[in-house]
Amino acid sequence: MKYDFNQIEEKWQDYWAKNQTFKAENNSEKPKYYVLDMFPYPSGAGLHVGHPLGYIASDIYARYKRHQGFNVLHPQGYDSFGLPAEQYAIQTGQHPAITTAENIKTYRRQLDQIGFSFDWSREVRTSDPKYYKWTQWIFIQLFNSWYNYKSEKAEDISELIKIFEVEGNANVNAACDDTIEFFTALDWNIYDDVKKQEILLQYRLTYLAETEVNWCPALGTVLANDEIVNGVSERGGHPVVRKKMTQWSMRISAYAERLLKGLETIDWTDSLKESQRNWIGKSVGASVTFHVKNHDKVIEVFTTRPDTIFGVSFMTLAPEHELVLQITTPEQKAEVEAYIEATAKRSERDRMADVKTISGAFTGAYVEHPFTKEPIPIWIGDYVLAGYGTGAVMSVPCGDQRDYDFAKHFDIDISNIFEGVDISEEAFADKEKTIIANSDFLNGLSHKEATKKVIQELEKLGQGQGKTNYRLRDAVFSRQRYWGEPFPVYYVDGMPQMIDAKYLPIELPEVEKYLPTETGEPPLGNATKWAWCTETNTVVDNDKIDNKTVFPLELNTMPGWAGSSQYFNRYMDPHNDQEIFSKEAIDYWQQVDLYIGGSEHATGHLLYSRFWQKFMFDKGYVNHDEFAKKLINQGMILGTSAFVCKITDFALTYGEDIKIKDDAIEISLEELEIRNDVVKKLESRFSNTFISFDFLEETFNEQFKRFPLFIRAKEVEPLKNIFLKEGFDENITLTVNPYHVDIQFLKVVKEGANFKYTDELVVDKFKNWRQEYEKSELISDINGVFKVFRDVEKMSKSKYNVVNPDQICEDYGADSLRLYEMFLGPLEQYKPWNTAGITGVHSFLKKLWKLYIGENGLNVTDTEPTKDSLKTLHKTIKKVKEDIENFSFNTSVSTFMIAVNELTAQKCTSKDILEPLLVLISPYAPHIAEELWSKLGHNESISTAPFPKFEEKYLVESSKNYPISFNGKMRFTLELPLDMSKEDIEKTVLENEKTQEQLQGRTPKKVIVVPGKIVNIVG
RNA sequence: GCUGAAGUGGUGGAAUUGGUAGACACGUUGGACUUAAAAUCCAAUGGCCAUUAUGGCCGUGCGGGUUCAAGUCCCGCCUUCAGUACCA
């Protein structure tokens, strides 16, 4: 009987579905265990081989825990709101809900064919109104809460109102906007309703405020900091600019300290915790107030080194600092304004890319030193960021490299306050260890002592106090997009009001088009009919009323992370339409025991989820203020792509149209008009039409007046328009890198380069392409014109390097895929996908099958197991158990191979060996395990069979093959009884003729005997 | 720059507390079976030298050190990957 994996796998997948084998009960006698995967975004490209890596690992763990007798919750769902579906909708008019549903169908089919033990009865989809009802509900809870630093938790906003009514806000220590003004109870009680609401908004955990946001023009929306990578949007790589907009924000900064402290209580990877720590960015120091001379103004700075206050040579303000224009003297006005204008023009990205250039301007104004009362000049400089601290720094050039560079550049006096440090040297000594000098009352003190002392003194003067600053900013929560959760919000007199929770969900209305309205409102502004709210909190349809006051609704939608910030709790009770989850459900499941997912979510999803969890904890909805006890990051499986570049020949041939420069090709603007011609010529030159050109407008480099890119022939016109629109003159040069090559050509490359499973290998590498190709591996040189490089990078549709698991499941089966993905290497490691080794695990499965099923049927008998077989079995049990518990899945696959090889060699047929072996293998290769299990006569699924017990006694040996080494080098081995004494071992070894041969008559200086381990003879 | 992780055969990767480096696979070579191929099975496979056999030398990024013994521990470098970055 052959191992017919296709038939077997289909059979058991049907069986599991039909019998709901993996359905988790909320009531059970068994202990619970909650294994969670990060749910996928169902993209149009379908599942690729990288997705299942983490899912397979968690599935093995979940199945293992079932064998251990746990009631396992192992759910799956979809993070189904998001940009790509909407971008697709804009292009095609197809409703995102439809494409999303289609994609989910594909994902489900692909997930099912791998044989995961998910409890699909608990599936959630973030775009399902039944689900996002609760996302909206949480939003309302956040709106109705404030953060009390005294109790260190979120409290109901009604408590705050009570305090205001009785004593005003002077004694309130809350997370709130810095612009808050003090008022008394008297004031509060006479404020009108709008004023009261305005004030409360400054305290709410989600609030509406005008903030500087990251605006992405190409996507038409704002983005959170973690959605921007290297200054461009994470999705699509579009440029991002700073812009002031009225936006919903989440007051995550209130939780900064708890988010930081909480990291100590959870078993997450160190690198991930470190990322979160950096992101939160706690720094302890002091805030110091400086009085501006001849002005009734103060400048507040934050510093981590208040002890260096006597070293302050100048102040530096961010160019955007609000006081700059007020304090600038008439003489300096022109210079300062010019500088401000120049920095405003530079994009954030330029500013980031160019940290070396020192620039700034003197305002002409001075502050007074708090102790010496000396005047200190005030400068502005773009190395000071408006968004961090107060946007102002006290500059201590003898202590800080940047301040030093700035002072040198502008020739500002540098005073030295460090003992024994030569400030003419650019490399500074470790300042934390240096004694303070030239600093009045701080002289002779260490960093620590001086810091303490100076804060005391500043407090006496009323000009400062100790302060802790966090880098973590509040998270912008509005998106000007269609495909997201609508806010349960309407406006009265411009103030936001919550729609009563009983009307939830506020469903996403239909729109004609998914673009902003003509008046520039978000896409929801196009909706003509949707549930909305009147004054009396009655939800009615827009078109059913008239003559009544109509209140505007919130037209923004929530960001992608809204739906994923509590989904792990919703799985506990996913069909509950009365509550987000019942108390019984959360009391039973508590929190996620094991969470597996990618580290790319370190500062996004994983931070926001922790924040919401802490909020839910404060409100008493959950029992733990961390949602996941343990978290493992699976590494990414990378795709192989090829790209082609450098066409020297082409430039020479077409030298009249195109010039070569720095290995790139330049085309002047006039030549753009004949570009179509050029392309035609090129196409005939390289007959197979494989050249096309591509460009991206946003990569225009202003500094060099270049597009470091490729041009696609048909897109010449739009490019030219952009060019002229931007007002660049006609002599501008385009730098063209013509390596975007078409599929036809790559098929040739592919055959030559012997790729497997990669049908399309085109990559757009518009960023740093020279570096990229220099780094990559040259795999082919075609006619000396094209060079083909192979590179390994993240799988993505746009790189044409996606490998999906379907073909592998068909050719080798899901069990092979599961084993192979585990066998590739350690779970956490990044690794390129390469199918070369899959035959290894596949033939292992065939050998396993043959061990049980011979030519004439079942090979398994009731014979007594041999000693050797028992030893093989028990050493396998031990190793596999340890491996699973250490998440070292790759080594258990080897262990299985060894076990099967040994048992085959032993011709083992004993049921007592082969039956437990199946349970060991079943988490890894569940289909074949189920099939063989049933062939052994079981009517029940193997999935709850108890995990075999390891017994030491079968491994006990009577002798050991000792390695005998001379000066640490192993020469030969010697079989000796394990109960032999140290002395006897030494004696036996020394008497051995091989030892004598090695010693050649010399007397050993020393003999080391480690019983059970090794013998080392030192000569 | 800072933080974190990692460097082991032709390849992916093994190696508990320091104790036989290269498990298990892939690939390669040779052989068996076959008209042939596939599949399957057997053998060899870190490098160099030597060989009738026994062998010998070198080997875990580089340079030192500790130790009877170092891939593993310590010090100093180099490289790669990832994250982060005028954070005051």
In whole angstroms, B74 C1' to A967 CA is 22
Torsion of Cα atoms, A506 then A512 then A515 then A519, to 10°: -90
Q: What is the per-residue pLDDT across A554-593, written as a single tens digit (0 to 9) for each?
A: 889 999 899 999 999 999 999 999 999 999 999 999 999 9
In whole angstroms, B35 C1' to A746 CA is 39
Task: Point out the nucleotide closest to A970 (alpha carbon to C1′).
Answer: B20
Band (pLDDT 50/70/90 cuts) for residue A940 is very high
Cβ of A231 < 7 Å from strand B?
A: no
Cβ of A699 < 7 Å from strand B?
A: no
In whole angstroms, B88 C1' to A563 CA is 37
Of A200-209, A252-261, A626-635, A648-657, where does mean pLDDT reach its minimum? A648-657
Model confidence at A792: pLDDT above 90? no
Own/partner long-range contacts of A866-872 (Cβ < 8 Å, ≥24 apart) = A866/A906, A866/A908, A866/A910, A867/A954, A868/A902, A868/A906, A869/A903, A869/A906, A869/A908, A869/A910, A869/A913, A870/A913, A870/A954, A871/A954, A871/A955, A872/A899, A872/A902, A872/A903, A872/A906, A872/A908, A872/A913
Q: Which of residues 443-472 of A touch strand B (CB under 7 A)?
A: 469, 471
What residues contact A357, with CB distance under 8 A and at least 6 apart?
none
Task: Point out the nucleotide closest to A830 (alpha carbon to C1′).
Answer: B81
**Residue A539 corresponds to which tokens in the numbers above?**
């939800």
Band (pLDDT 50/70/90 cuts) for residue A237 is low
What residues contact A801, with CB distance under 8 A and at least 6 apart?
A639, A640, A641, A758, A761, A763, A793, A795
Q: Which of residues 310-329 of A touch strand B (CB under 7 A)?
A: 318
> Would you give the DSSP letter of residue A642?
E
In whole angstroms, B56 C1' to A972 CA is 14
Model confidence at A542: pLDDT above 50? no
In whole angstroms, B30 C1' to A73 CA is 53
Residues A554 and A375: their CA atoms lie apart, in Å, by 51
In whole angstroms, B2 C1' to A842 CA is 46
In whole angstroms, B76 C1' to A422 CA is 26
Residues A528 and A10: their CA atoms lie apart, in Å, by 48
- pLDDT value, residue A745: 31
Model confidence at A777: pLDDT above 80? no
In whole angstroms, B68 C1' to A895 CA is 33
Cβ of A276 < 7 Å from strand B?
A: no
**Residue A957 corresponds to which tokens in the numbers above?**
């040996």
Name the residue closest to the C1' of B15 by its CA.
A891
In whole angstroms, B40 C1' to A835 CA is 21
In whole angstroms, B51 C1' to A877 CA is 44
**Residue A721 corresponds to which tokens in the numbers above?**
């328009």
Q: Which of residues 721-740 of A touch strand B (CB under 7 A)?
A: none
Q: Which of residues 884-943 of A touch strand B (CB under 7 A)?
A: 888, 890-891, 893-894, 897-898, 901
- pLDDT value, residue A16: 97
Model confidence at A764: pLDDT above 90? no
Cβ of A1004 < 7 Å from strand B?
A: no
Tell which wins on pLDDT, A878 or A958.
Answer: A878
Residue A690 contacts residue A733 (beta carbons within 8 Å)? no
Q: Which residue in this structure is represented by tokens 């706690």?
A: A282
Q: How many CA atoms lie within 13 A of A741 on its CB side?
A: 25
Q: What is the per-residue pLDDT across A51-99, written as a single tens digit (0 to 9) for each?
A: 899 999 999 999 999 999 999 999 999 999 988 888 888 878 889 999 9
Task: Point out the nucleotide closest to A393 (alpha carbon to C1′).
Answer: B88
Name the residue closest to the C1' of B56 by its CA.
A971
Band (pLDDT 50/70/90 cuts) for residue A351 is low
Residues A567 and A78: their CA atoms lie apart, in Å, by 10
Q: What is the per-residue pLDDT across A643-664, written as a single tens digit (0 to 9) for each?
A: 554 333 232 223 333 343 333 3
**Residue A385 corresponds to which tokens in the numbers above?**
């960021």
Name the residue closest to the C1' of B25 by its CA.
A840
In whole angstroms, B49 C1' to A972 CA is 21
Chain B bases closer than 7 angstroms to a protein Cβ: 3-5, 11-16, 19-21, 23-27, 39-41, 55-57, 68-70, 81-88
DSSP A352-405: HH--S---EEEEEEEEE-TTT--EEEEEEETTS-TTSTTSEEEE-TTT-HHHHH
CA angle, corner A971, sides to A970 and A974, nearest 5?
95
What residues contact A389, with CB distance under 8 A and at least 6 apart?
A301, A302, A469
Q: Which of A293-297, A305-309, A610-614, A640-644 has the highest mean pLDDT?
A: A610-614
Task: Point out the nucleotide closest to A878 (alpha carbon to C1′).
Answer: B16
**Closest listed residue to residue A647, CA positions, set A710, A717, A732, A714:** A710
CB neighbour class for A857 (10 Å; exposed up to 12, middle 13-18, buried from 19): exposed
Q: What is the per-residue pLDDT across A18-58, written as a single tens digit (0 to 9) for each?
A: 999 999 999 888 999 999 999 999 988 888 888 899 999 99
In whole angstroms, B35 C1' to A840 CA is 30
Mean pLDDT of all residues belonging to chain A = 79
- pLDDT value, residue A842: 93
Model confidence at A753: pLDDT above 60? no
- pLDDT value, residue A732: 30
- pLDDT value, residue A660: 36
Task: Point out the nucleotide closest to A973 (alpha carbon to C1′).
Answer: B20
In whole angstroms, B27 C1' to A75 CA is 40
Task: Point out the nucleotide closest to A904 (alpha carbon to C1′).
Answer: B41
Q: What is the per-residue pLDDT across A683-699, written as a single tens digit (0 to 9) for each?
A: 333 322 223 333 333 33
Task: Point out the nucleotide closest to A828 (alpha carbon to C1′).
Answer: B5
DSSP A787-834: EEEEEEEE--GGGT----SHHHHHHT-HHHHHHHHHHTS-TTS-EE--
Cβ of A270 < 7 Å from strand B?
A: yes
> Would you give the DSSP letter of residue A661?
E
Partners of A910 in the beta sheet?
Answer: A861
CA angle, corner A679, sides to A675 and A683, nearest 5?
170
Cβ of A394 < 7 Å from strand B?
A: yes
Residue A778 contacts residue A788 (beta carbons within 8 Å)? yes
Model confidence at A256: pLDDT above 60? yes
Cβ of A1009 < 7 Å from strand B?
A: no
Cα–chain center distance at A318: 31
Q: Which of residues 3-32 of A touch strand B (CB under 7 A)?
A: none
In whole angstroms, B52 C1' to A1009 CA is 36
In whole angstroms, B14 C1' to A185 CA is 72
Name the residue closest to the C1' of B26 by its CA.
A837
In whole angstroms, B22 C1' to A894 CA is 15
> How do A853-854 and A857-858 pair as beta strands?
antiparallel
**Closest listed residue to residue A240, CA positions, set A381, A351, A341, A392:** A351
Name the residue closest to the C1' of B83 by its CA.
A275
Q: Which of residues 745-804 of A touch strand B (CB under 7 A)?
A: 775
Model confidence at A392: pLDDT above 50? yes
Task: Point out the nucleotide closest to A967 (alpha carbon to C1′).
Answer: B68
In whole angstroms, B42 C1' to A11 CA is 36
Residues A803 and A818: their CA atoms lie apart, in Å, by 15
Residues A376 and A292: their CA atoms lie apart, in Å, by 9
Tell which wins on pLDDT, A891 or A743.
Answer: A891
In whole angstroms, B9 C1' to A1012 CA is 30
Q: Which of residues 836-865 of A touch strand B (CB under 7 A)?
A: 836-837, 839-841, 843-844, 846-847
Band (pLDDT 50/70/90 cuts) for residue A667 is very low
In whole angstroms, B71 C1' to A639 CA is 30
Model confidence at A779: pLDDT above 70? no
Q: What is the pTM of this model?
A: 0.84
Cβ of A346 < 7 Å from strand B?
A: no
Order of strands across the sheet with A637-645?
A777-782, A786-794, A637-645, A831-832
